[in-house]
Amino acid sequence: MGKIVFLDVDGTLINYEAKLPESAGKAVDLARANGHKVYICTGCSKAEIQRRKLCDLDGMIGGNGAYVESDGNVVLHKGLTRDEVKHIVDWCNDRHLGFYLESNSGMYCNDYMIEQGPSVMMKYSMGKGAKEEDAKKGAEGFVHGFTHFKGEDLYRDDINKISFILSSYQDHLDSKVEFPELEANTWGGKGELALFGDLGPAGITKKTAVLAILDYLKADPKDTISFGDAKIDLSMFECCAFNVAMGNGGPEIKEAADYITTDVDDNGLWNAFKYLKLI
């Protein structure tokens, strides 16, 4: 077996307009043809990933580790319980926070997400360098991808994690107090600016998912390489032998990296794959 490569998606494999750079797709295709395995390792769940136009891959880690698939086989799947989902839904609604439930079957949002989501997603895209027109189009497409539910229809038992809009960073801090047993993270915006909080099942991270794939493949950790652009990717860096930060990444991920490549839209993946002799 060759190397086992784990790629974050937004800002790493694809750009912040959800477009796959031609050089990135070609790099993954050539690396797999050379005998290496390439997985995505993302906060997105399968339903969201299936809306993206990506290259062929060997599998995926979704929901920041809640769902793991290799060669079409489910390796690990641990989501939130219905009671945990109900608690989060009620807490967000009480605070008038837009949120969406992320599952493999779809993405389900509340009233506040319909109202607040477009402007926040525009801020997300423009903060990452998108033009206003492209950011607006992308934000509308993102929100249109949700199924809008009300009341008890949001109390589900098939949810990997939940993302919610932050009215301020205090919402994230309060979520850590309200849900001490769950994994609490933030995402969105330029660098490490927090626009969203998210809550996932206890003990589940990108690191635990990477280790699950290595166990499934009976692979040696020394053959692993990870790529990321944000603080959420640091747990991958903890367990992989070599770690690459994207040029468009935040300061924390760059500081932890063994190598910093160019931006996602400046052949970042291609240049790193060449440097690592994967292609």
Digit-coded pLDDT (tens) for 125-176 = 787 777 888 888 878 888 888 999 999 999 999 999 999 999 999 999 999 9
Choice between 143 and 257, residue whose per-residue pLDDT is larger = 257
Cβ-count burial of 261 within 10 angstroms (0-12 exposed, 13-18 middle, 19+ buried)?
buried
Residue 191 has a pLDDT of 54
* Token digits of residue 187: 């995402």
Choice between 124 and 185, residue whose per-residue pLDDT is larger = 185
User: Domains, the chain, ranges and CATH?
Assistant: 4-78+204-275 (3.40.50.1000), 82-200 (3.30.1240.10)
Radius of gyration of the chain measured on its C-alpha atoms = 18
Residue 144 has a pLDDT of 85
Residue 2 has a pLDDT of 95
Choice between 190 and 248, residue whose per-residue pLDDT is larger = 248
Share above pLDDT 70 across residues of the chain, in percent, rounded to a whole number = 99
- Backbone φ/ψ region at 100: left (φ over 0), alpha (ψ -120 to 50), beta: beta
Residue 257 has a pLDDT of 98
Average pLDDT across the chain, whole number: 94
Residue 198 has a pLDDT of 96
Alpha carbons 275 and 256: distance in angstroms, whole number:
18
Residue 210 has a pLDDT of 98
> Does the pLDDT value for residue 5 go beyond 60?
yes
* pTM across the whole model: 0.91
Q: How confident is the model at residue 189 (pLDDT cuts 50, 70, 90)?
A: low
Residue 146 has a pLDDT of 94
